[in-house]
Structure 1
């Protein structure tokens, strides 16, 4: 099982390029950045974490700016979105950004996608939260058409365009891996419909059982990645035994010292898990 790290890339924390260099130098396989374009000040939607929303949510760099900084500072590290809120994004522009960063990185981009949790944030982008899952599916399907067709068209209820040209095409064929985030009741259906892998957040109950269900239902290879694993060798062992290919640990949005200490703690747990 490969290991990766994730961080909210805030303007007052370690720079995206610097954390990417650290991840690569320390032997990790991947680095992920989340996305929030903004946080509505009303704070009407409760944060799923169950406590006051951490300030980092409103202080992140743009996702694709952070990703570009990370890939240009590294040569082997896979860099991805964990996750990109595609329901808040124009699919034609996002397809261009994904393809561009995949080409510039030499095919190292991982495209994690999700619908998000903040309903006011969605609404500010013109997205009706009630149909966000249908919108996500159509936007991903439309982007796949752009990546894989010389002349792309798409006709859906929420996305529609006729005969467009868009280059570059991604370096990875047919396109970067689409990692579907979330752990709601319909997430496995979405993974099977348009995903290459499932990328849930770590939770004490349910994830391992649902991973088994996903594999039983799939008629093709579907990857398993877990975000937010603690620095605990027993947790790593459980995910490895369940067939997860990658375990990703959250780093603090902080300066270099606390980030390096978080790396150290996670790597100690990995060493105990692997017996090294």
Structure 2
């Protein structure tokens, strides 16, 4: 099982280059970052975390800018989003951003995607929350066409374009790994339809995660598919939890740093997480 770091990066946190170097130097395999373009002042959508929406959410740097600095500052570190809000982004531009970052990083980028929960944020981007699941699917399929074909075209209900040229193509073919986030009534079916793996929801109890993995793999088997890789996320991890996730066959566990931390505090937290993950003599 690989172990990486998940966090936001803001104007008040450790910078992306210093963060990425520190993550790689401590032996972690990957760095995944969050996305919110903004937080509307007036919000009626319930926050999944319970209380007020944290200030970090409206201070996030753009994830592709963050990860560009992270890639340039490291050699081996896998970089990714958890998650890109595809329903709030133009698919032709997003396809270009993903391919460019994958090329510039030497094929180290991974795309975590989610339909999002904050309806007011979506509406500000012209997205109808009621159709966001179907919209995400079409945008991902359209982007895959752009990455995979010399002349790409797509004709759907929400995405429609005639043949076009778009370079660069990603180093990873036919596309960088796409991880679908969440867990709803159709999540597992959607993973098999248009993603490569499951980005399990943050904060899910481990016994529920185990049940979800069993259901996902049973569905994959019924469709004649190989087992689907899974990413889990832990906050305040303990060693026995990491061992349990490894026994479940988890592909990668992300250790969360939330809320974001300034430079020195972030380095101390990474030291603590490295000791939990790898022991004092790694």
Shorter-chain TM-score tier = over 0.9
**1:153 maps to which residue?**
153
Structure 1 runs (4+) deviating above 3 angstroms are: none
Contact 1:38 1:121 (8 Å CA) reproduced: yes
Contact 1:212 1:242 (8 Å CA) reproduced: no
Contact 2:78 2:110 (8 Å CA) reproduced: yes
**1:246 maps to which residue?**
252
Backbone CA RMSD of aligned residues: 1.5
2:41 equivalent to 1:34: no
2:218 to 216, 219, 225: 216
Report the TM-score, using the length of structure 2 for normalisation.
Answer: 0.94
**2:10 maps to which residue?**
10
**Structure 2 residues without counterparts, runs of 5 or longer:** none
2:208 to 192, 206, 209: 206
Q: Residue 227 of structure 1: CA displacement?
A: 2.2
**1:262 maps to which residue?**
269
After superposition, the Cα gap between the structure-2 partners of 1:210 and 1:275, relative to the gap in structure 1 and judged at 3 Å, is farther
After superposition, the Cα gap between the structure-2 partners of 1:24 and 1:275, relative to the gap in structure 1 and judged at 3 Å, is closer
After superposition, the Cα gap between the structure-2 partners of 1:275 and 1:247, relative to the gap in structure 1 and judged at 3 Å, is farther
Report the TM-score, using the length of structure 1 for normalisation.
Answer: 0.96
Larger RCO, structures 1/2 (Cα 8 Å, 6+ apart): 2
Contact 1:112 1:180 (8 Å CA) reproduced: yes
Q: Residue 271 of structure 1: CA displacement?
A: 3.1
SS of residue in 2 equivalent to 1:206: helix
Q: Residue 221 of structure 1: CA displacement?
A: 4.0
* 130-139 or 203-212, which deviates more: 203-212
Q: Residue 258 of structure 1: CA displacement?
A: 1.6
Contact 2:239 2:276 (8 Å CA) reproduced: yes
